[in-house]
Structure 1
């Protein structure tokens, strides 16, 4: 997955993390979750992605007062040209000065919400396999743990309207907040199955999940689409269990199958590849990367824990 002349983009330094440094005592479930995330090892395919179509998001976890894990989410500014008002993770495209995809995620989080680029205050837990965002861009999630809850956000008003948190474990549940008024009136979790543009079989669809935030009355949109998919995967790995709902549609293409299809067939991807001296015609058949809806073990590819 490395780029020509840019082989370090997907390499990372993994520091040893002391969980006794968390601002609040961890529940045993939270401690086990962090250990699994810290020992997780993604195994990127040996493909060359066009750098101009690569991006990263920062999944910033922190420990709440009761020892549970939460993730920072933001409401995008209503003035943005794309995804205006959506609930999202901080992130953006790789810049020329970014040496690694982790640099991209941390830089974007600093620019958007003021999270310090400090690997001691927010050490790296793991990096997930890349996701495909609406056939437009390849997004890699970078998961960190905020050890200092005294960090105060500084929002970039041009990009972010509000910042809030959501329980990580809630992304595995159908209804985690039965007493919340918004959730009593509407289902906490729902989904839509969207036809896949590049599917050889017409029945192939992509499941787009939706989670209420409990802040809809204030104009905050649910966690939806790519952000929801990323958070489901992080929670699956960390808590080592499947959600209470079916994650994929029947015969849903894998993320890698979607990525290779976009690189091979989408004109904007092919143009980007040619500009970087890459040949889209040499890509393998996307169906080679299909998993046909088979569930993956969320505990796979675990290395030695750094906690």
Structure 2
């Protein structure tokens, strides 16, 4: 697939740099009909200034696109999600935001996120109804015990607003990467609950996609390769939002609604992502050429239990 880097980058840079911390880059007709809540969320995101991206050294890097829109007849923002193809080597059949690896020729993470969204679901690279909002602070994959440090990935979220929700209905999953396209209310990630109108078509409790007792939001604390971590899971109309995708959307929702989560976000003694990232960036050069044969790849429990991971990170 050939993409004109120069033309696309110019468009994205103008979006990224032209909003001056407010919604002036979005014409009035594009936000006409939005609820006051949605407009407030967009303004909070557009005025958010994350610290400049640091030098992540040799750690793998990726970018994901948090594409927000308000459905016709609705009054809150929803986010575009995918279920990864069953044939994917990593995280098959799991919920993801469009995104992927930062290629050396990518001019910035905004381009990476938009390119990947185009490749995965056909979201147009240049469209008058898609507006850049902000770039958020990076998060990082949390790996099981005995995983090789080289398999950590630092992921930078890029947030955009789609003013024409009809675009969503035109998206087509790339069968090599995506099994399904669906959406979820952003506020539901902040509150761990859903309005009655958003509970229609949710997957069954106790079924394949939601084998949990909780109605909308489930957590468990686990111990991975770099310490304790709280795994959040949110029930959807498809595969659950969990892991890194939940971490990104929790961060996005807190900024959008200018509010903390209504549930405890972190496990006791869980380190901030900024500290975890700094540690991996610093230590990876000393581990990159070392093998990792210290035992099975597994998660630790807070009560001392162990359970095998379905991923094979140590051998990647």
Normalising to structure 1: TM-score of the pair? 0.75
Aligned residues: 251
Instruction: Name stretches of at least 5 consecutive residues in structure 2 with no aligned partner.
Output: 1-8, 144-151, 207-212, 290-316
Match of 1:81 in 2: 89
User: In structure 2, what is the equivalent of residue 221 of structure 1?
Assistant: 239
Residue 226 of structure 2: aligned partner: 198
Q: What runs of 5+ residues in structure 1 fail to find an aligned partner?
A: 1-7, 200-204, 272-307
Does the 8 Å CA contact 2:37/2:75 hold for their aligned counterparts? no
Q: 2:173 aligns with which of 155, 180, 191?
A: 155
1:149-177 superposed Cα distances (whole Å, 9 cap, x missing partner):
33211221100011011111111113224
In structure 2, the CA distance between the partners of 1:119 and 1:260, relative to structure 1 (3 Å rule), is farther
How far did 1:23 drift? Answer: 7.2
Structure 2 counterparts to residues 1-307 of structure 1, below 5 A: 12-15=16-19, 16-18=24-26, 20-22=28-30, 25-44=33-52, 47-50=54-57, 53-65=60-72, 66-118=74-126, 120-134=128-142, 136-151=152-167, 152-177=170-195, 180=200, 182=204, 186-199=214-227, 205-213=228-236, 215=237, 220-266=238-284, 270=288
* Alpha-carbon shift at residue 71 of structure 1 (Å): 0.4
Question: Distance in 2 between the 1:102 and 1:141 partners?
Answer: 9
Deviations 1:119-176 (A, max 9, x none): 6321110100011113511100000001233321122110001101111111111322
CA distance in 1, matches of 2:163, 2:192: 29
- Provide the rounded CA distance (Å) in 1 between the counterparts of 2:247 and 2:142: 12
Asked if 2 retains the 8 angstrom alpha-carbon contact of 1:22 and 1:63, the reply is no
Q: How many angstroms does 1:268 deviate by?
A: 8.9
Relative to structure 1, the CA distance from residue 268 to residue 100 in structure 2 (aligned partners, 3 Å threshold; closer, same or farther) is farther
Per-residue deviation, 1:79: 0.5
1:21 to 1:52, Cα distance in 2 relative to 1, 3 A: farther
For 2:180, what is the secondary structure of its paired residue?
strand
Larger deviation: 96-105 or 48-57?
Answer: 48-57
C-alpha RMSD of the superposition: 2.5
| Cα gap change, 1:243 to 1:77, in 2 (>3 Å) | same
CA contact (8 A) 1:24 1:67 kept: no
Question: Given the two structures, how large is their TM-score scaled by the length of structure 2?
Answer: 0.73
How many Å separate the matches in 2 of 1:23 and 1:269?
50
Q: Match of 2:300?
A: none
CA distance in 1, matches of 2:229, 2:18: 33
- Structure 1: how far apart are the matches of 2:254 and 2:244? 15
